[in-house]
Structure 1
Amino acid sequence: MRRAERTFLLVASAAVLGAAAFLSSLSAQSMSGHRSTLPGEERPQEPAKTARDFWSTGPDAESAAALLDELSDEEVLGQIFMMAYPGTEPPPLLYRWIDRRALGGIKVFGWNAEDTEVLARAIRNIQEAASRTGHRIPPFIATDQEGGWIRHVKGATSVTPGNMAIGASALPRDAYRSALFIGRELAALGITMNFAPTVDLALKPRSTIIGPRAFSSDPSSAAVLAAAYVRGMEDAGVLPTAKHFPGHGDTELDSHGILPVIQVDEGTLWERDLLPYRMLIAEGLPGIMSGHLAFPRITGDRTPASLSPHFITEILRERMGFDGLVVTDDLFMTGAAAPGGFPEVCVRAVMAGNDILMVSKILEFSEDAWIRLLREYRSNPAFKARVRQSALRILRAKQAYLKQKGPAGVEPRPDRASVLQSPEARSFFQDQAYRSATVLEHTGLPLTPGPGRILLAGPFSDFFAEGGARYPGADTFRFSHQPDPEVLALELQALRIRVRGARAAVVCVANSAGAAFAREASRAGVPVYLVSVLSPAFALDAGPVAGGVAVYNGSRESYAAAFAVLSGALEGRGILPIPRAP
């Protein structure tokens, strides 16, 4: 399919928000602690001897409501929490939350998941602990496995080109199959919820927090590709969660360390950042993550959207008609901070309309926030109603995504090794990396091997490995990925000396430092060729070059694709997913 045809497909598909027929064609297919009574807290009622069992009750709304009615106050409140544990082995405190408070979810971070077998054992132990409780309600096991740059579960899982590569190929089927293979791997490990796709737009493509996690700067393209991704994840049996509502793309700031303030009006936000959400909601999106982002031109203050009833209840729930799960981004992020501290943040998150409070640690059993929320639940009818509404949504989502699997199905699969990095997945992701490679400058292409010295300059070993394979005998110059100003000056001076007399310099550009090395080589009078990785915004700022190719992840397969195009062995067919500067 040629570029014009692919572009037409995206525009035509995005023109109609209800794209059900289009998307349908994509489908292929023990430990527990003993609880002591907390200060000022009553001991919760024990489950009845004939307690309802999540697995044996029906899959309908009435069954979920009946199960909710049997839960203790603490168990109802426990359902709306999602916590993370330190290290690789869940400690007794986590099992105590499961046993005594029916903890609703566990978030898997990168520090838990370097070894997939260790992670699988932990997930199995968690689900077995939940199966021994009175109501046997399984927790959601969630992670961030977007593809490309963000891959919290490492170990034996697939390395993939990522969202911006999907945007460059501009093929919804690439989005669908990427999510399908990623989702199958997660499901094989017992992970049942994925905080993906990222539907933030690449409006600030130099951002170090979003960057290549975005599909595109174009809302319609992002919407179509995200919808295909959601379908693939669901077909793998994993609940997808689009993020970061209402949009993290128009800022270069990172809400982990600061509250980004985005100066945009509601009309622009509705037609731009919210377009992908509107299409996904029309297609039945089951989950959304709320972001810690301030929009003072809309709310009149700097309240984070994640804590804003206007954004979560009025816009998302009422105007957009979303009735799925809303999960907060980590409430310990600086962007979520509010007067009154963490307990107040939790109360405000609930009252804003969030269903799941996600935190990046295990709360202490007598945490102030827990005591505050339990007190609110027992004394404030409006707060209690809001919590019960969320807990019912959570139970309904578990009916939809977990009940059909059965008790054994929420645990890691015995044959998981055959699913992780399957030959089919490896072949697909390699082809996708080649398919998405994008020519940035074609004037001097191809750079063929032959007489004369070629200098490869970059910070990454895989860049040199693949460059050396295409250009045997090439000289190499390694520079720092993120040098401080003093080191940068010294390394630029060293490059100036090394590049003299070279037939060409091939420079890896992953950030502003890489662009500086490209400009320095060009000033030396040597033809410069770029290999852009991650966001191409930095390469587009590298000045005049003889040739350039963009790929969107720093994987070995992506570098192989870039050098194949650079040397003329492959035609670069990708479409640049961000605009060139005027």
Structure 2
Amino acid sequence: MRSSRLGAVVGALICLLTTACAAPTAGPGTAPGTSGSAPPPTPSPETDPVDAALADLDRREQVAQLIVVGVALTDLSPADAFAAGGLGGVFLQGRSSIPADELATETARWAEAAPGPRPWIGVDQEGGAVQTLSGPGFADLPSAARQGRMPAEELAGLADDMGASLSSAGINLNLAPVVDVVPEGTEDANAPIGAWDRQYGSTADAVSTAAGTVADGLAAHGVTPTLKHFPGLGRVQENPDKSRDATDDVTTGDDDQVAAFGTLAGSDAEPFVMMSSATYTRIDPSTPALFSPVVVTDLLREQLGFDGVVISDDIGAAQAVQDLPADERVIRFLEAGGTLMLTMDAGLVTEMIDAIVARAESDPAFSATVDAAVRTALTAKADAGLLPES
């Protein structure tokens, strides 16, 4: 077990990233409690990679695998510590013209630094205004709106180039494609998607066809695609990143936006699904979608049959989640049926891990929920070749 190492590395880094660092507090490396889930069995030679990984991780290390943290492209040095500390992944935040071969050197070092499962290394590579990487070696990407109007063969070639260029730089997770359906004529009023031409079209058929092509192009090169933002941001006016009032009063569980996700969720590309942090009054008016068991479990997992990784949109700095304390956010997301938590606020990582571990130690039902999330997360890493035995 490497709990002390995880705590020392991540705790020290978070201390540096925050404006003040008071007396030392328990970090991710604090020794796990005796309650919570039973320790996994010691693997035999025939044990599959997921069981082997579970056996090699203590409770805090398992929970750390559920966290993906943002790292600014202006200073990539924190990623070394996050990888060495055993976090589930890093997300490259911002925009950069770094060459693909130069970034590949960085990402290879992060993979090597990981003490167990290698990290997800994610970007927002959609095209147009939303393109994390644009330096030499990366595909030149028009907006999704333009991509959606391309002939099928041309879009397939572009998607293949996108996947190849990301893979060459060591990127294994793309938080794309957008599957939100923005009704024609409402684009300018749709702050998060339509106003930036991030939509592939104005109908579910058009969006699912184009987004599916992009997902396939990514997956062909070992880059896991992410369908976002379930159950759809195409009909909201406010941007959840910047507003606490992002609400959809139109979408239902049988809506065409939902159908577009359902078409793609079970595809051979094995995508993740990212949850929206807007509130959907005709599905569950009580809470933002990422905290709603009605949306995550009942609609996405049961009605649409998705059993893969559900990742949150930013659960750290986004305005839409600020009404809840950070520790409550992660617990509610997992209870809703989520898997990976994305935070753009690195200073919350220790608090989030502490909250999950403490709740699991005192609540057997929640402990089982964490067990299921960790297994789903590690299964995805096994499929992506990111486990030591895979």
Q: TM-score, normalised by structure 2?
A: 0.82
Which position in structure 1 is the counterpart of 2:20?
none
Which residue is equivalent to 1:420? none
Could you tell me how far apart the structure 1 residues matched to 2:81 and 2:362 are? Answer: 25
| Structure 2 counterpart of 1:296 | 281
Once the two structures are superposed, the pairs formed by residues 154-233 of structure 1 within 5 Å of their partners are 154-156=134-136, 157-169=138-150, 171-203=151-183, 204-206=186-188, 207-211=190-194, 212-233=197-218
Alpha-carbon shift at residue 215 of structure 1 (Å):
0.8
Shift of the alpha carbon at 1:42? 4.5
Q: Is the 8 A contact 2:208 2:260 kept in 1?
A: yes
Indicate the residue corresponding to 1:343 in structure 2: 327
Amino acid at match of 1:291: S
CA separation of 1:325/1:364 partners in 2, compared to 1, >3 Å: closer, same or farther?
A: closer
- 1:43 pairs, out of 25, 28, 31, with 31
Shift of 1:226: 1.6
Residue 174 to residue 274, structure 1, CA distance change in 2 (3 Å): farther
Q: Partner amino acid for 2:352?
A: A
Indicate yes or no: 2:98 matched with 1:115: yes
Contact 1:33–1:96 under 8 Å retained in 2: no
Say if 2:309 is the partner of 1:325.
yes
Q: Residues 117 and 388 of structure 2 are in contact (CA less than 8 Å); yes or no, is this contact kept in structure 1?
A: no
* Structure 1 residues 286 and 168, CA gap change in structure 2 (3 angstroms): closer
The SS at the match of 1:349 is helix
SS in 2 for 1:213: coil
The answer to whether the 8 A contact 1:313-1:353 is kept is yes
Work out whether 1:250 is the aligned partner of 2:244: no
Q: How many residues align?
A: 355
**Among candidates 237, 242, 245, match of residue 222 of structure 2:** 237
Determine if the alignment matches structure 1 residue 103 to structure 2 residue 87: yes
Q: Map 1:104-143 onto structure 2 (within 5 A).
A: 104-111=88-95, 113-116=96-99, 118-130=102-114, 133=115, 136-143=116-123
Query: Is 1:277 the counterpart of 2:254 in the alignment?
Result: no
Contact map agreement 1:325 1:355 (CA 8 A) in 2: yes
TM-fit CA distance, 1:359: 0.7
Contact 1:195-1:242 at 8 Å conserved across structures:
yes
Describe the shift of the 1:361–1:200 C-alpha distance in structure 2 as closer, same or farther (beyond 3 A).
same
Secondary structure in structure 2 of the residue aligned to 1:275? helix
Is the alpha carbon distance of 1:358 and 1:374 closer, same or farther for their aligned partners in structure 2, counting shifts above 3 Å? same
For 1:404 and 1:355, the matched residues in 2 are separated by 17
Which deviates further from its counterpart, 349-358 or 145-154? 145-154
- Residue 389 of structure 1 and its aligned partner are, at CA, apart by 1.1
The question of whether the paired residues in 2 share the 8 Å contact of 1:330 and 1:358 is answered with yes
With over 3 angstroms needed to count, the CA separation of the structure-2 counterparts of 1:373 and 1:229, relative to structure 1, is same
Which has the greater radius of gyration? 1
2:113 is paired with a residue whose SS is helix
Aligned CA distance change for structure 1 residues 394 and 253 (closer, same or farther; 3 Å): same
Aligned amino acid, residue 391 of structure 1? V
2:370 alignment partner, one of 375, 381, 387: 387
CA distance in structure 2 between the partners assigned to 1:396 and 1:193 by the alignment: 15
**Greater relative CO (CA pairs within 8 A, separation 6+):** 2
What SS class does the counterpart of residue 256 from structure 1 fall into?
coil
Q: 2:119 corresponds to which letter in structure 1? A: P
- Tell me the SS of whatever aligns to 1:274: helix
**Offset of 1:144 from its aligned partner?**
0.6
Match in the other structure for 1:80: 66
Displacement after TM superposition at 1:96 (Å)? 4.4
SS in 2 for 1:84: strand
State the 1:202 CA deviation: 2.0
Q: 1:323 to 1:174 in 2, by over 3 A?
A: farther
Q: 2:292 aligns with which of 302, 305, 308?
A: 308
Q: Which amino acid aligns with 1:68?
A: L
Q: Is the 8 A contact 1:196 1:243 kept in 2?
A: yes
Post-superposition offset of 1:105: 0.8
Q: Which consecutive unaligned segments of at least 5 residues does structure 2 have?
A: 12-23, 34-41
Among 124, 132, 143, the residue aligned to 1:152: 132
Pick closer, same or farther for the CA change 1:88–1:32 going to 2, 3 Å: farther
Point out where structure 1 has 5 or more consecutive residues left out of the alignment.
1-30, 46-50, 408-582
* Percent pairwise identity: 25
- Quote the residue 1:508 is aligned against: none
Cα drift, residue 351 of structure 1: 1.0
How far has the Cα of 1:319 moved from its partner?
Answer: 0.9
1:352 equivalent in alignment to 2:332: no
* Alpha-carbon displacement from aligned partner over 1:270-319 (angstroms, at most 9, x marks no partner): 23111211111242442111011111222132x11011111001100011
What's 2:355 paired with?
A: 372
Secondary structure of residue in 2 paired with 1:142: strand
- 1:355–1:394 CA contact under 8 A, matched in 2: yes
In the alignment, the residues of structure 1 paired with residue 320 and residue 285 of structure 2 have an alpha-carbon distance, to the nearest angstrom, of 17
